[in-house]
Amino acid sequence: MAGKLLSVIVPSFNEAENVKLFYEELAKELQYSPYDYEVIYVDDGSSDTTLLELKELADMHYNVQYVSFTRNFGKEAAILAGFQHAKGDCAVVIDADLQHPVALLHELLAGFEEGYDQVIARRNRKGESLPRKVLSTMYYKIINRFIDVRIQNGVGDFRLLSRRAIDALLILSEGNRFSKGLFSWIGFEQKTVYYDNVCRQNGESKWSFGKLINYGIDGVVSFNTKPLRVCLYAGFIVLFLSLAYILYTFVEVLVRGVITPGYFTLITAILFLGGVQLVSLGVIGEYIGRIYNETKRRPHYLVKDTNIEARKRYEKNM
Ligand code: UDP
Ligand code: MG
């Protein structure tokens, strides 16, 4: 077992108060661990002094590496960068804000030792506001109905992946990355460990309500085309109902003659159909937008600054 390397991937966006604190906690936790570890901080275009803190930290500790983006590319891109730079036999993705207890690493590593390729940390939602709890429960109900892979409430990006799983993940080249879905998509033997929800100490959550809604939509449409199918079915049903209604009115006209010209029915029909069409168009637009983005084949992120290349050169010269 000696000499196994653990890569700790830490997406960090405006976490200046947290990056050093996190390292200290981590080092404390892993000091007696048989694993060697490297910490890969991914500075996701922070506007505070995160990068400065990271440079200081990297000067002090040899196992600290950082990759700094040119702007905020989002947590998904940061996670990807982490995996791409990780050299470990296994890697853990963990938040910089200490909301993911570092003590759980032992359990994650134990799962890895048992031979699991993915060890998933799942939290309860203790201490969260009721609306957020209700919304997230609803979200997972809906999303699991729509996508082919299973996603569980309380399961985030906090998990351990074996080298095999990382390599599998890196083969997936899609531009629109929805990690929760991708983790689930690659499969492998999985084990879940549980932990209590922790509230953030420093800084604030980067998820506004709007961001969460967008994330929810991405989750559904990044993964398959079922919403298109739903539109199709809705279209069929509406068409069928309209036909039935037309037939009914036609018969009524035949039997009773024209009564009042039906303004109400007309307007409802128009509005309803208009609504259905708009929804369908929106869904189609979502997918076309995605096709557009995929065809551009843009990189997921751009790197402004990193010490990883320098480290490699240094190691080669040794
Ligand atoms: N994060 C990131 N890029 C972003 C938003 C967040 O790298 O655009 C990082 C952030 O620094 C933190 C982790 O992702 O380490 C989780 O973010 P946050 O704590 O804001 O989310 P929450 O815990 O509220 O879900
Ligand atoms: Mg957090």
Task: Encode pLDDT of 54-80 as tens digits.
Answer: 999 998 998 999 999 999 988 889 999
Ligand that lies nearest to the alpha carbon of residue 78, given by its number in the listed order: 1
State which of 12, 20, 75, 201 you would mutate to test the pocket of ligand 1, scoring each by most atoms of that ligand within 8 A of its C-beta: 75
Confidence (pLDDT) at 1: 47
Q: Is the pLDDT of residue 272 over 60?
A: yes
Q: Please choose, from the candidates 119, 143, 218, the residue with its C-alpha nearest in 3D space to the C-alpha of residue 174.
A: 218
Task: Encode pLDDT of 92-144 as tens digits.
Answer: 999 998 888 888 999 999 999 999 999 998 887 776 778 878 887 887 787 77
Predicted structure pTM score:
0.75
CB 7 within 8 A of CB 67: no
Confidence (pLDDT) at 140: 79
Question: Please, what CATH class does the domain formed by 5-210+300-306 belong to?
Answer: alpha beta
Task: Encode pLDDT of 280-314 as tens digits.
Answer: 887 787 788 778 777 777 788 988 888 887 666 66
Pocket of ligand 1 contains residue 76 by CB under 6 Å: no
For residues 276 and 281, give the distance between their C-alpha atoms in angstroms, rounded to a whole number: 9
CB 137 within 8 A of CB 161: no
Cα angle 16, 19, 22; round to 5: 145
Between 39 and 198, residue with greater pLDDT? 39
Confidence (pLDDT) at 66: 94
What residue's CA is closest to ligand 1, atom 22? 205
Pocket of ligand 1 contains residue 214 by CB under 6 Å: no
Delimit the domains of the chain by residue range.
5-210+300-306, 225-296
Pocket of ligand 1 contains residue 46 by CB under 6 Å: no
Residues that place a CB less than 5 A from ion ligand 2: 97, 99, 200
Ligand that lies nearest to the alpha carbon of residue 204, given by its number in the listed order: 1
Rounded to the nearest integer, the mean pLDDT of the chain is 83
Pocket of ligand 1 contains residue 96 by CB under 6 Å: yes
